[in-house]
Amino acid sequence: MSLFGDDELPPVTARESQLDFWNQVAFERVQAQFKSGSMHHALLLLGPGGIGRETFAQELAQWVLCQNHSQLDSACGSCKSCQLFVAETHPDYHLLAVEDEKTQISVNQVRVLIESMQESAHQSGWKLANISDVAALNQNSYNALLKTLEEPQPQTLLILQAEQLQQVPATIRSRSQLVALSVNEQATIEAWLAERKGGMTEELKLALSLFPQAPYKAEDFANNGDAVKCGDFILDISCLMQGNESPLALAEKWLPDIEDCCLWMLLMMRDLLLLQQANDKSCISLQGQTEALTNIVNILNNQRLMQLNEKIVELRSLLIKKSPVNLSSSWQALLIYCSQLAQKTAKSA
């Protein structure tokens, strides 16, 4: 036996996987492709923040690099490769994320990554890159990355993560294999969340209707007081529609929460349409805001609700694409539009 234990048989028990149970099927599908040698060299891992996408990427990366992966369904946790991975010092694993105080992944970061991916592997033979947010790449970074996608080295795997397909340029989409994460069984997620929170609450119900595809986001929403904030916002919008608030003052007040506000507004629109069409208060999500919602429904007719909905969807799509527009003025314009729609109704009444 060698002094360094190189001839020792590796342990063949898997450590406990961190993978979320709702992502298990997608994970097994990728593993089967890997085992049969049919896995694409670039995986486009799609899923909203809060669905456990990063955990999926890390679990997959560690398993591919694990020296015992052919015998196990999740990484062993004890081989040399696993130890390096857990210590975040694996020479064949490269995580590319936005650096502190930056908003984009720089072309320089991508170049360093590509160079490392072209070197020969240090450990098991596989080399992996995990790009945590494709939307954070700029045009130059994309171009640098394209070459690697077009001329992949053997035994390299690129995991490209994104929240939504529309954030990913067509050139990258067409050169990668889509792995879409989704939560299929809402009832199971409800039960899981309720158990973690010690019961189903009004906040949790609201959180689930806001984030049906992002269990962790729903949990955060219910825990960190955002449900109360959402209620305050809906109340403010109702006051705006009634002419008791200035659109510019509200735009300034809620600008730091613009992404949340857009989502809350979409939920509000869904409730408003339900209220208008069915006049059934029991089916709305924002149960705590029934009075504010009823006030808005009394002001805006169906046609104006649809017009407003369109504007909100437009702004949300700019936010998702991380479009470089002036968000502050788009946000102001939306709230001015709200107030104008309400005034039009008042005049025509």
Query: Which positions lie near Zn ion, rule CB under 5 A?
Result: 66, 75-76, 79, 82
* SS3 sequence of 247-289: HHHHHHHHHHHHHHHHHHHHHHHHHHHHHHHHCCHHHCCCHHH
In whole angstroms, how close is the CB of 58 to Zn ion at the nearest point?
13
The answer to whether the beta carbons of residues 312 and 262 sit under 8 Å apart is yes
Query: What backbone phi and psi angles, to 5 degrees, belong to 20?
Result: -75, 140
Residue nearer to Zn ion on the CB measure, 35 or 344: 35
The least CB distance from residue 124 to Zn ion, in Å, is 9
Choice between 30 and 284, CB closer to Zn ion: 30
Quick one: 10 or 243, whose CB is closer to Zn ion? 10
Residue 87 Cβ vs Zn ion, minimum distance, rounded to whole Å: 13
Q: Closer CB to Zn ion, residue 77 or residue 215?
A: 77
The CB-of-79 to Zn ion minimum distance in angstroms stands at 3
Q: How far apart are alpha carbons 45 and 47 in whole angstroms?
A: 7
- Tell me the C-alpha distance between 184 and 212, whole Å: 9
What's the CA angle centered on 181, arms 176 and 182, to 5 degrees?
145
Is the Cβ of residue 82 or residue 274 nearer to Zn ion in the bound state?
Answer: 82
Nearer to Zn ion, 85 or 221 (CB): 85
DSSP labels, 13-47:
PPPPP---GGGHHHHHHHHHHHHHT---SEEEEE-
Instruction: Find out whether 189 and 222 touch, Cβ atoms under 8 Å.
Output: no
Residue 128: which of 228, 60, 37 has the closest Cα?
A: 60
- Find the shortest distance in angstroms from Cβ 179 to Zn ion: 22
- Nearest approach, Cβ of residue 68 and Zn ion (Å): 5
